[in-house]
Every structure is written in C-alpha cells, then in structure tokens.
Amino acid sequence: MKKLLHLLSLNIEFTDNVSSRRILLISAILLFSIFTFVFFALFNSLVLNNQVVSVLDVIAAGVSIYTIYHLKKYKNLSFAAKLATINLMFFFLTFIYVNGSSHFALIWTIFLPMFATLTNGKYLGLAFSVVFYALLYALAYINIDIWSEGNWLLQDWLRLVFSSIILTFVMYMNESALEESDRRLNIIRESEKQHIQELKELSITDQLTGLYNRRHYNDMLPKLISLAKRNNCYITFFILDIDYFKNYNDHYGHIKGDEALIEVSHAIKNHIQRGDDFVFRLGGEEFAGIIISDNKNKTHEWVMSICKIIEDLKIEHVKSDISQYITASIGISTIAHEREYNMDNLYAFADEALYTAKHDGRNRSELSTMMSA
C-alpha cells in the first residue's frame, strides 16, 4: 500500500492534508483515465468501428498524459486539477453529443462532480459542476423525443436533473466537511506546535529574568566552541556577579531583589545581542555570557563596559561598600583559535578572574592571566 501511495503521489510531497489527498486523487484518476481512454479508443476503432468516439478518447488520453507530465515537472496542483477537470468536461459533453442517451452514455457524467469537487475544492468544484450540468441539461432537453429513437422523454430529463443536483450537493457537503475537518486539525496542530515551543522555551529559560538558564548553557557551550573552532575565531566567556547582593536582599527584600535582577539581566542582554552571542543566568545573582569574535581586544572592551552600564542603571544600594548603586564584578577568559578549545578551562579561567576582580575591590572586570595568548 505504501509503495502504491508513493507511486500515485508522483514523488511530490505536500505538508497539508488537503494537497496530499488531492495529489493522490488527481494522479489516480488521471492514470485510470489514461488506461480507460486508450482502451476505449482501441475498442471503438477496432471493434465498433466508431472512429469519431475513438478520436475523442485519443484526445482525452493525450490531455491526461500531458497533465500528469506537467504535474510531475512543475508540481502545480491547482493547474493540474483545473486542466484535468476541463478535459473531462469537454470529453463527457462531446461524448454525450455523439452518443446521446444510448448505451448508458449519461452514466459517465456522474464522475464529473465527484472529480471536480474532490480535486478543486468545494467552491471551484461546484462552479465546474454547475457549468457542466447547465450545458448537459440544455443538450439533453433539446434532444427530448430525439435521443434513443424517441425513447428519451421529459421524465428521463427530469430524473437526470434531480439526480445530478442531489449528487452535486452531496459532493459539495462532503468536501465542506473534509475541508472543515482539515481546518480544525491544522488549528490543533498549530496549537500543539506553539505549546511545544513554549514548553521548550520554558525548559531552557530562566523564569525570572527571561535569560537562558544553566541547562541551556550546558547544552550550548560545546556547540558554540565547535562553531568558533570551525570559523577559526576567538571564544570569550565571562562570569558576572552582582556585588553585595545578599546585603541588598536583606535590606530591600526579595521582591526588590528580583526586580533588580530583572533590570540588570535586561541591561546585559541588550548589550550582548548579536546572533552568535548568548547570555545566561547561572543562578542567584550570577550571570554568564559567551561571545564569538575575530578580535579579542574589542570583545574584552565590550564586556568590560558592562560594569559601567550596570552602575549607570542607578539602582539604589545603600548596603554596598563600594557604591550607592548596584554594581557588578566580571571575570573574563578567552581561548584563542591557535590553541586547543577546552570548556573546563574556559569556565575555570573566568571564575579565577572573577575572584580576582572581587578581591581587588569589586565593581570592575578582570581578564584571566591564564588564558591563551
């Protein structure tokens, strides 16, 4: 069954259910139509000696073959559906004109609203069906008492009209139900995708500050190091710690402490905002950042400026021993592309530099003396 569906899909893949269903219907009916038209072309020509109908079969088969070719090459499903429908309309009307009501010729017309609606959608399918049956009704009405040597009567014409209207209505309602079902299913799928994305974001995001959390830091660090190595760049890592933050919480309370963390995190994120740079909250009042660049000196200056940016926020901190505002200390390490990249060293060097910055007075940044040249 899978091989058959793969064959009927003509190796064309669509992401939505409606297009996937229609490509299968169109290709299946076209392939069946080609076989049917060729068979009856030979049968009418060789057995019944009806060359007119045989020519009609050959033309219809040719158009069906071209439709398959065009669909395969250009993957234009809408054009293929319209062309195939018009081909069937022309064939059925011409076939009825030639054969009249004899040999159950009218029975073939039941396929038109089915095919038109299922492959073109409810509105365009209905339009094709209305045009087709309007022409067919006129043709059949003109030939009352003429077709089948006078056996085609008004009641037969009325049966044709009512049965075709009922069939067209049923096909329209069926396609409406299918399209509505697909629409609701797509809404559910989009909602699920959004929900999954939200859960993913929650799993890697610090709920308080909106920065990436430690879990995402652990996932991203090896990937970013690999990226820096491939591009022959420097990778700079920094750890930032808010000075005397325990004193701030004790004096102002945890709510104000959370507000301060949020404001500081936004300031860091706005400063470190290129596509390949990331800022994380490691926990508590400790943050980290990763920057990939080809100029380590400019990167160091850029990171060092964060200290002034945070103090310029002017978040009051009367319990700080170094400033009347909240400040931060930063430890920075850089691994050069000439040396072997090492995640453990990157963190250890930055942590050592942070310790030095705190020991030497805080509200400052310190470059690791152990980092690669």
**Per-residue pLDDT tens over the stretch 289-313:** 999 888 888 999 999 999 999 999 9
**Per-residue pLDDT tens over the stretch 104-133:** 889 989 989 999 998 999 999 999 999 999
The confidence score (pLDDT) of residue 336 equals 72
The confidence score (pLDDT) of residue 232 equals 84
CA distances, 320 to each of 308, 316, 324 (Å) = 16, 9, 7
Model confidence band, residue 365 (pLDDT cutoffs 50, 70, 90): very high
Q: With beta carbons less than 8 A apart as the criterion, state whether 101 and 139 touch.
A: no
The confidence score (pLDDT) of residue 134 equals 96
Average pLDDT over residues 325-351: 82
The confidence score (pLDDT) of residue 135 equals 96
106/85 Cα distance (integer angstroms): 17
Quick one: which of 245, 246, 299, 250 has its CA closest to 272? 299
CATH class of 214-367: alpha beta
Tokens of 142: 């003109």
Q: Where are the domains of the chain?
A: 2-191, 214-367
Question: E strands of 164-285, at which residues?
Answer: 234-242, 278-283
The confidence score (pLDDT) of residue 249 equals 94
Model confidence band, residue 182 (pLDDT cutoffs 50, 70, 90): confident
**Per-residue pLDDT tens over the stretch 263-292:** 999 999 999 877 778 899 998 999 999 998
> Of all helices (H) and strands (E), which one includes residue 289?
strand 286-293
> Of all helices (H) and strands (E), which one includes residue 286?
strand 286-293
**Per-residue pLDDT tens over the stretch 225-236:** 888 888 888 889
The confidence score (pLDDT) of residue 226 equals 81
Average pLDDT over residues 3-23: 65
Q: What percent of the chain has pLDDT over 90?
A: 53
Lowest mean pLDDT among 7-21, 47-61, 174-188, 327-341: 7-21
Model confidence band, residue 373 (pLDDT cutoffs 50, 70, 90): very low
Lowest mean pLDDT among 2-6, 44-48, 108-112, 329-333: 2-6
Q: Is the pLDDT of residue 50 over 90?
A: no
Q: Kindly report the backbone phi and psi dihedral angles of residue 295, in degrees, each rounded to the nearest multiple of 5, phi listed first.
A: -140, 100
Q: Is the pLDDT of residue 168 over 60?
A: yes
CA distances, 330 to each of 40, 177, 224 (Å) = 85, 62, 21
Mean per-residue pLDDT of the chain: 88
